[in-house]
Amino acid sequence: MHIEKVMVIGAGQMGSGIAQVCAQAGYEVYLNDLQEDIVKKGLGVIRKNLDRQVQKERITEDEKEGILGRFIQSTDLKDAENADIVIEAAVENLKIKMRIFEELDQYASEHAILATNTSSLPITEIAAATKRPEKVIGMHFMNPVPVMKLVEIIRGLATEDEVYQAVEEMTHRLKKVPVEVNDFPGFVSNRVLMPMINEAVYTLYEGVATKEAIDEVMKLGMNHPMGPLTLADFIGLDTCLYIMETLHEGFGDDKYRPCPLLRKYVKAGWLGKKAGRGFYEYR
């Protein structure tokens, strides 16, 4: 399975990061979102990241232009017909992802791998939206993608070994480290991380400490690079809530119940850094 052309669906914080590292590794990249202005915004973020690399003399201006020249903007899922692998990074919603995979199944070429960057949702169920579950796999990057080394790779029930190997190889080419985990809600990363974040929201909700104090305790006391509430804002409070709901529903255990304060913030549209306001304000 030879991968040269990649399509990334969703040009938000994860999709743009995935597209950036793919183009930097020499792949041709179709970057897709619902509207052209969102794709352009994603490309703007990529350009800014590359400008910083030029400033730091990690790449030359010519290399930057070469990387930017490997992008093709897309607002049509039909463009999947050109891709050897599609990496879906749209919102964390099972119905939306299943609809996307159903459509991709109609357009993507027979040999194409259909990967999802879902944080928590069942790969096997997403794969069942297609007639080629053997080509579907989880490829879970971490945020910010250009910096974080890990990619969790998750097989669905029917995923072929060849597909797994091709994705593992691609992960190495992206200069990332693949770790195989099984198809359970939240995989390993968010099964462990998200209950900690949710518990931090409970400590705020119950008045145990201020948001600044909660973050400071975890930064200075546990050497975490960001406090849990800052990290939640960085991930996106909508994404955090969807992940907690997946854990709660998937395991049926009350220990995963999303904190009502998290729910309230999402209902208010306080989605974190990307919305300008979450637990903190961003200007």
Active site positions, annotated = 119, 140, 152, 190
* Number of residues forming the site for ligand CAA (CB under 6 A): 17
Which helix (H) or strand (E) segment is 212 a member of?
helix 211-222
Query: Should residue 228 be labelled a site residue for ligand NAD when binding is judged by CB under 6 A?
Result: no
> Whose CA is closest to 17, among 5, 2, 29?
29
**62, exposed or middle or buried, with CB in 10 Å at 0-12, 13-18, 19+?**
exposed
Q: Is 66 annotated as a binding residue?
A: no
* Residue owning tokens 């909700």: 205
19: DSSP letter: H
24: DSSP letter: H
Least distance (Å) from ligand CAA to the CB of residue 199? Answer: 15
Least distance (Å) from ligand NAD to the CB of residue 27? Answer: 19
Contacts (CB under 6 A) with ligand CAA, residues 108-137: 119
- Please give the residue whose beta carbon sits closest to ligand NAD in the complex: 12
Least distance (Å) from ligand CAA to the CB of residue 106? Answer: 28
Cα 63 from Cα 72, distance rounded (Å): 17
Contact with ligand CAA (CB under 6 A): which of 24, 32, 49, 246? 49
Cα 144 from Cα 127, distance rounded (Å): 26
> Whose CA is closest to 38, among 9, 18, 66, 77?
9
Q: Which does 190 bind (CB under 5 to 8 A by kind): ligand NAD, ligand CAA, none?
A: ligand CAA
- Which residues make up the interface to ligand CAA (CB under 6 A)? 49, 52, 119, 142-144, 146-148, 189-190, 193, 225-226, 231, 235, 239
Q: Which residues participate in the annotated binding site?
A: 10-15, 33, 92, 97, 119, 143, 274
